Chains A and B, each alone.
Chain A
Amino acid sequence: MSEDWEPKIVSFFCNWCTYGAADLAGVSRFEHPANTRVIRLPCSGRVSPKFILAALREGADGVWVSGCHPGDCHYIEGNYYARRKFALFKNLLEYMGVEPERVHFSWISSAEATKYVDVAKEVIESVRKLGPNTRFVKHKAKVA
């Protein structure tokens, strides 16, 4: 690991909550490390395992998925379905040898800018500790 290595985190955020929280954190001038690349989705229920695997394949060091607290889903129940999908997904990923700290899940409402900042720091730090991701990454042939 080189000295100046910084973890790249791909974040899948629900439009109705965590994305808003990130926005609020910005507007409120809360500081946090800039390691995340945010992808906005309509609901955590929209997150397919394919997205997470694709992020890792393309070289993400960590993935962070965040949606609305149970009971707060804009579509009433999307996050309840998502919760089961994520549980099985995370277990299978770890079963195949991916470190548990590579992939993170959280519930953050649009009002929780401070929770957003805290979780962002936690995610980034735990991925930083692991070092660069080597699992599920597809190394492409170098183009001259």
Chain B
Amino acid sequence: MLGYTDKIKEISERLLKEGKVDMVIGFKKGTMPMMNEPCVIKKAEDAGKLVWDSNCGINLANYLTDRKEKIGIIAKGCDSRNIATHIVENKIRRDQLVIIGVPCKGMIDRHKIASMSETEILSVTDAGDEIIVKAEDSEKTLKKAEVLQKNCAVCTHRNPVIYDELVADLVEEQKDADRYADVREIEAMSAEEKWKYFDDLLAPCIRCYACRNACPLCYCPTCFVDESRPQWVGKSTDPMDTRTFHFLRAYHCAGRCTDCGSCERACPAGINIRVLTKKLEKDCFESYGWEAGLTTEDRPPLDTYKLNDPEDFIK
């Protein structure tokens, strides 16, 4: 990953020096292990702060919303797809951006790694295909493939879909990934079992909205969770309120979610809320042949229609 970091620094420094951009949005080392922080670099001499490794799971497209400046942005596959979505939704203009593409080899699952250690983790570093985890009283080497974030393990768009510069050669895409095994498992359950499954899944939710805030798609000036007259969603952690929140959060991402995994990564309770967004992703693909963020030319599925769209559920 050092090669990536050097190249990111080099390109960012050049863009800032030449005045091509007013800022570069990237990652700097976080104050905690496995938590690289998004950062905005405005001076060429600060480009040295930028880093890249397997802890850059946050989606940087989130920081583009309604910005007016010229911006350089570091983009792995999923970020680039959310940038494309932002462009389609008029949240940023293509000509404001210099997209620094990062062919991605997957990010690591911070919840999983934390749960593997009994003591506090002091550092987590990349070493090729391995990850070295130092904890208070131990040091472990893990295979990166075994601790990938769940969405990265089944990702089929690791390479950026739009970019102006590239920090490395494109990587091979995963071909045999079964993207929807988990969704199919739930679909096969009875209504009773499904209800129970989501009761258990959502029980630890504390309604902190970290999942919403981490998501580049959530940019409405007034979020439905904050509406009070009428109050469509109760504000408490009553199980029904929580469920309604999760239903609507996922639904708002229909046809837009790129399965970047930022929501799940941000969740302090480690809830796998992607099973909701993935269901919608699967339906959009199966019913409308749509994958989010692959182009800036086509209208997203809920912003268009076909005369012969499926309607066998309508009497």
> With A83-B314, A87-B283 as given contacts, are A137 and B240 in contact (CB-CB < 8 Å)?
yes
Of B15-23, B68-76, B304-312, the one with at least 4 CB within 8 A of chain A: B304-312
For A80, the chain B residues whose CB sits under 8 A away are 305, 307, 309
Q: Are B191 and A104 in contact (CB-based, < 8 A)?
A: no
B28 contacts the other chain (CB 8 A):
no
For B315, the chain A residues whose CB sits under 8 A away are 104-107, 119, 122
> With A49-B251, A97-B197, A138-B240 as given contacts, are A84 and B288 in contact (CB-CB < 8 Å)?
yes
A75 contacts the other chain (CB 8 A):
no
A98 to B288, CA, bound (A): 24
B302 contacts the other chain (CB 8 A):
yes
Closest chain-B Cβ to A133's Cβ sits at a distance in Å of 12
Partner of A83, one of B194, B233, B247, B305: B305
A96 to B305, CA, bound (A): 25
By size class, the interface of chain B is: 35 or more
Report B226-245 CB contacts with A as 1/0, cut-off 8 Å: 00001011100010110110
Report A121-132 CB contacts with B as 1/0, cut-off 8 Å: 010000000000
Closest chain-B Cβ to A15's Cβ sits at a distance in Å of 19
For B81, the chain A residues whose CB sits under 8 A away are none
Partner of B279, one of A57, A91, A98, A100: A91
Q: Are A54 and B232 in contact (CB-based, < 8 A)?
A: yes
Q: Are B198 and A96 in contact (CB-based, < 8 A)?
A: yes
Q: Are A84 and B232 in contact (CB-based, < 8 A)?
A: no
* Contacting residues of chain A (23-60) with chain B, CB-CB under 8 angstroms: 49-50, 53-54, 57
A92 to B232, CA, bound (A): 18
Specify the main secondary structure of chain B where it touches its partner: helix
By size class, the interface of chain A is: 35 or more
Q: B186, B230, B279, B301 — which one has the most chain A CB atoms within 10 A of its CB?
A: B279
A137 to B240, CA, bound (A): 7
Q: Are B192 and A50 in contact (CB-based, < 8 A)?
A: no
A85 contacts the other chain (CB 8 A):
yes
Q: Are A53 and B195 in contact (CB-based, < 8 A)?
A: no
Q: Are B314 and A105 in contact (CB-based, < 8 A)?
A: yes
Q: Are A53 and B244 in contact (CB-based, < 8 A)?
A: yes
* Contacting residues of chain B (260-315) with chain A, CB-CB under 8 angstroms: 276, 279-280, 283-284, 287-288, 301-303, 305, 307, 309-311, 313-315
Closest chain-B Cβ to A47's Cβ sits at a distance in Å of 13
B209 contacts the other chain (CB 8 A):
no
Q: Are B283 and A138 in contact (CB-based, < 8 A)?
A: no
A13 to B48, CA, bound (A): 60
Q: Are A99 and B283 in contact (CB-based, < 8 A)?
A: no
Residue of A nearest to B251 (CB): A49
Partner of A88, one of B195, B230, B280: B280
Q: Are A138 and B191 in contact (CB-based, < 8 A)?
A: no
Q: Are A87 and B240 in contact (CB-based, < 8 A)?
A: no
> With A84-B302, A90-B313, A104-B315 as given contacts, are A136 and B244 in contact (CB-CB < 8 Å)?
yes
* Contacting residues of chain B (172-213) with chain A, CB-CB under 8 angstroms: 186-187, 191-198
For B233, the chain A residues whose CB sits under 8 A away are 50
A residues with CB within 8 A of B: 49-50, 53-54, 57, 70-71, 77, 80-81, 83-100, 104-107, 119, 122, 135-139
B residues with CB within 8 A of A: 186-187, 191-198, 224, 230, 232-234, 238, 240-241, 243-244, 247-248, 250-251, 254-255, 276, 279-280, 283-284, 287-288, 301-303, 305, 307, 309-311, 313-315
